[in-house]
Amino acid sequence: MTRITDQTAYRRRRFIAGALGLCTLGGFGALRYGRHWPRPEATADKAPVPAVAEADAVVLHNADNRLTSKHAATHYNNAYEFGWNKADPYRESGAFQMTPWAVSFDGLCAKPGTFDIDELMGMPFSHLEERVYDFRCVEAWSMVIPYNGRPLSDIIRAVEPLASARYVAFTSVLRPEEMPGQASAFSTLDWPYVEALTIKEAMHPLTFATFGVYGDRELPQNGMPFRITVPWKYGFKSPKFIVRITFTEERPMATWNVENPGEYGWFSNVYPDISHPRWSQATERRIWDDGEIERIPSRPYNGYAEQVAQLYPGAQQQYR
Amino acid sequence: MIRLAAHLLLATPAVVLALAWQGRALGVDPQKSLIWETGIWTFNLLLLVLLLPRVARWTHWPVLLRYRRAVGLWVFSYASAHFLFFLSFLLGWDFPRLAEEIVKRPYVLLGFAAWLTLFALALTSTRGAMRRLGRHWKRLHSAVYLALALVTVHYLLMIRSDWAWPVSYASLALLMLVLRLRSGNRVRS
């Protein structure tokens, strides 16, 4: 660097430095906050009261039978297919084609085949059962959500799994052209997303084939048109946008478990005593509405221990 | 006058964040936004405070150096807000749990260590402390690079799947460290 730079040169450098500074600030702002602008208008829909029949297998744990508001439950989602940000699933899912939708069944079953979503529902959408489940994310937040669907066991029975089938793998759709998160170069996940359950877990009456939430099917951010809901496990064990169901004898791989086995167990049942390596699972932040968040203790099997604990004999550690 | 403008500029992210919080514009989970945004602005200003002397030298604009302390104190302010939000929203002011988290979770340990470092630097940022510490002051305040290393790893440990932001910041931090090591044996600013 020369020491005989004259005053004009320094002025130019100051100008360059200032311009670079402004560009950096602008670039940072655009990259980080650009998509938030203009903001979607805040809706003030209050948490609805569940319209559920007593006979339904509804398990409401909170004293005042309260649901999370639909706005919160549909604007704060993890669906890395659309992006890692919680707002990406509703913001980036505009191009996602939900119809037609077919699901193929293969592997160890007597009646493999491909079925249209209407066949899977087996009845008009409005006739499906509504179940209110506590949804617990591995990130230690939770919501109370009414799901529309039917027990997954109804569907599985129809394709007659063989006695040798011990596991069920669920494969999500692969459409990078409609799902920006799948197209992203910055994601380390292997697409398509695959999750799996044991056949006993899949056949458990609480495991719910889900076609809508809050009576609404048009919600790709919540995993529609077809997902399953396994309420006693962390949320990522409830795969979304399912297009293929495979019966196997060997334990199938599961996306997050492959990504980081130390942090995401294959079973991933909710055990408050077993921490995620990076955070505690002892409590959760219950999201009731936009900005209305309550810290509550977490419960073994997310509160469904009575129904499912018998599936897991022996030490909890093997079912983490 | 310029000093006031500088402080206002540095306070802007905090003011915008506070207004957005009040205006319910931080989305479904404002707690999380508050934690993440105060964290990222701590990192931004930390990079700025390290860049300032380099820009001052390159442009022969020593006036800039006068604002180093102001930026440094804002780094500490954003870091403190970040820590307080973490304590309040994620731990519910449960101090035994804080101790447990610090012991068990490397990212909490690193973040806490970085905050302690920045706290020490903020406490000794006064003219009086400079006088008392004499030649030790400069050595103590090069610990800002320690803070930089700590927050870099702290942020990298947050990666779940998407690595673009943390890795970008780590690259910038690495660049600052390399520049510092290269100029370390030349004239010190």
Tens digits of residue pLDDT in A22-66: 999 999 998 888 766 544 444 444 444 444 444 344 445 555 679
- Cβ separation A14–B61 shorter than 8 A: yes
Sequence spans of domains, chain A:
11-40, 41-319
- Cβ separation A71–B157 shorter than 8 A: no
Whether B183 and chain A come into contact, CB under 8 Å, resolves to: no
| ipTM, two decimals | 0.87
Q: Could you tell me the sign of the dihedral formed by the alpha carbons of A50, A54, A57, A59, in that order?
A: positive
- Cβ separation B25–A42 shorter than 8 A: yes
Does residue B169 register a pLDDT over 50? yes
pTM summary value: 0.84
CA-wise closest residue to A191 among A87, A290, A79: A79
- A137-171 residue pLDDT tens: 999 999 999 999 999 999 999 999 999 999 999 99
- A172-225 residue pLDDT tens: 999 999 999 999 888 889 999 999 999 999 999 999 999 999 999 999 999 999
Which CA distances in Å does B111 have to A41, A108, A281?
Answer: 35, 50, 20
How many whole angstroms separate alpha carbon A99 and alpha carbon A101? Answer: 5
CA-wise closest residue to B87 among B97, B77, B78: B97
> b/e per residue, B77-116, with b = 16+ CB within 10 A?
bbbbbbbebbbebbbeeeeebbebbeeebebbbbbbbbbe
Helices (H), chain A: 7-33, 70-75, 88-91, 117-121, 152-158, 180-183, 199-203, 255-259, 305-308
- Cβ separation B105–A42 shorter than 8 A: no
Exposure on the CB side of residue A223, measured as CA atoms within 13 A: 28
3-state secondary structure of A3: coil
**Nearest by CB: A84 against B29, B97, B161:** B161
**Residues of chain B with C-beta less than 8 angstroms from the C-beta of A14:** 59, 61
Q: Which CATH topology does A41-319 take?
A: Sulfite Oxidase; Chain A, domain 2 (3.90.420)
Which CA distances in Å does B85 have to A25, B79, B82, B89?
Answer: 25, 10, 5, 6
B59 Cα to chain A: minimum distance (Å): 5
3-state secondary structure of B150: helix
- Cβ separation A278–B25 shorter than 8 A: no
3-state secondary structure of B2: helix
Closest residue on chain A to B109 (Cα):
A278
**Residues of chain A with C-beta less than 8 angstroms from the C-beta of B92:** 283, 295
Closest residue on chain B to A37 (Cα):
B25
A55 Cα to chain B: minimum distance (Å): 33
Which residues share a beta bridge with A187? B162
Structure tokens, A302: 């997310």
DSSP code string of B16-65: HHHHHHHTT-S-S-HHHHHHHHHHHHHHHHHHHHHHHHHHHHHTT-GGGG
